[in-house]
A and B are shown apart, each in its own frame.
Chain A
Amino acid sequence: MSELLQQIINGISLGSIYALIALGYTMVYGVLRFINFPHGDAFMVGAFVGYYAAPRIVPLVGGSLLIAGPITLLLSMLVCSALGVTIEKLAYRPLRPRPKLTILITAIGISLFLEFGGQLVFGPDPKSFPTLLPSAVIINTPNLVLRSTPVIVIATTVGLMLLLRFIVMKTKLGTAMRAVSYNQSAASLMGINIDTVISFTFVLGSSLAAAAGILYGSLYPSINPLMGVFPGLKAFISAVLGGIGNIPGAAIGGFIIGLIETFVTGYLSPTYRDAIAFGILILILLFKPSGILGRAESEKV
């Protein structure tokens, strides 16, 4: 019983990471209708910002993780927002009138650029992520050891999701984002500047990816420039599972994939972990391409 509980907690904390990244995939898909492949690499950059910033920030605030943690998180979110907006402006915006495939190939190019540029700048060897979250033991029984790290990861994720929900559902810019994702022409007839809304979407998505990077580094403290590849793919699967373009769907999909992976690792074998995740992708695409919460959408001609 308590082993199951342990697995569930592990699954939800891993799922939190996937969910946060998946939200960015799904939001960008919502407004631009393409998969922003470098998104997984924004997650990596987020972790590296934390890696370099945390050791400088912690002494500045007298060693208090309670203050250093949120500051590092915010800084990383800020840096990644700037990165996301820059990529969109330089690489995607000029290609927007072109066929979608052009942007998709560009996206893959940028992804590779960030991965191998990252190896050049940060070095290809794994780095040990600094301690940012307190890892006190909360519960300690023979079968269940609960540390504070996953609890903080889950709480931060839920907090960010509620904040995102508020922004998307209650603010003017968030409503404009939903309007743009439904119909760009109609949105521009309302006086909405489409470019601004798209930039804003990249700010939201990239900052969530950055947060995921920091949380991931705190859960699994070894980071490297290629670390974004697999979590990025898993998050993409999560977004598709939830229904691409659907924001609550991405969150739910992330948690489901995180739980499934943890259960497969724990009860079956770690060898099957990735195969099962990709198997799920194939099954969804075959039988329910619109995902759990997505609406069936016909291609506009």
Chain B
Amino acid sequence: MLTVERLEVRYGGIHAIKGVSLSIARGQIATMLGANGAGKTTTLRTISGLVKASRGTIRFEDVELTNRPPHEIVALGVGQAPEGRMIFANLTVKENLEMGAYLRKNRAEIQNDLDFVFSIFPRLRERIKQPGGTLSGGEQQMLAIGRALMTRPRLLLLDEPSLGIAPILVKTIFEKIQEINRELGMTILLVVETGELMIEGKASEIAKNEGVRKAYLGET
């Protein structure tokens, strides 16, 4: 579904990514692991078009994404909940979610998806009229994921959904991610941080890794 080949990114003089390749099959939850500064976030930002690739290609369902503007990439079916959540603090929860549906016209479908977001994150429904900036870290993460879901992506990129949120919520968030994958059949590319390595592989294999289970899947 998504194929990234020998992607390279340079910011000014810095070589931020030196030849990343990855591929994800439809319906998968793929996870990208790696140390801080390994280029995971830059990879996701490049896939979404926020950063220009200096070399390499990104293909999504036979469409070349490389260096297209971000709004076109969203229209093609790639959504992202970015690192740091980037909630619109000045917009209400409802408006944040509506912005996710910016490109969509079908009101009934939008309402359906809104209901789905509220069903997996009931907390958001309670806070519907509050400005995004008043939410807790965990709630903002739910909103960031919900907002990305509202773009109705076929591929959802999630950048460090567990960063900076209460440990008790981490487990919930990861359960919800699995639920989204199961219920909507949505393909998901997840980025999480580890000490030193960067793994690309099947979720089922990575999930067997004890360290990963402890650190990210909320198991003890």
Contact = CB atoms under 8 A, between A and B. Distances in A.
Interface residues of B, number: 26
Interface in A173-226: 175-176, 178-179, 181-183, 185-194
A189 B75 contact: no
B208 to A, nearest CB: 32
A67 B213 CA distance: 73
A186 B102 contact: no
A187 B79 CA distance: 12
Contacts of B95: 175, 178-179
A186 B86 CA distance: 6
**Chain A interface helix/strand/loop/mixed:** helix
A189 B76 CA distance: 12
A194 B99 CA distance: 13
Contact of A186 (B49, B88, B98): B88
Given A179-B91, A182-B89, A192 B99 contact: yes
A98 interface: no
Contact of B88 (A183, A188, A191, A193): A183
A176 B148 CA distance: 15
B155 to A, nearest CB: 13
A189 B45 CA distance: 10
B212 interface: no
B88 A182 contact: yes
Interface stretch (B15-23, B24-32, B66-74): B66-74
Contact of A189 (B89, B90, B91, B148): B148
- Contact size range, A: 10 to 19
Contacts of B199: none
> Which of B48, B88, B91, B148 counts the most A-chain CB atoms under 10 A from its CB?
B88
A188 B87 CA distance: 13
Contacts of A183: 86, 88
B58 to A, nearest CB: 16
Please provide the 10 A-B residue pairs with the shortest distance between their CB atoms, ordered closest to farther: A191-B74, A186-B86, A188-B70, A191-B103, A190-B99, A193-B71, A182-B88, A191-B71, A179-B88, A190-B102
Interface of A: 172, 175-176, 178-179, 181-183, 185-194
Interface of B: 48-50, 69-71, 74-75, 79-80, 82, 86-91, 95, 98-100, 102-103, 147-148, 151
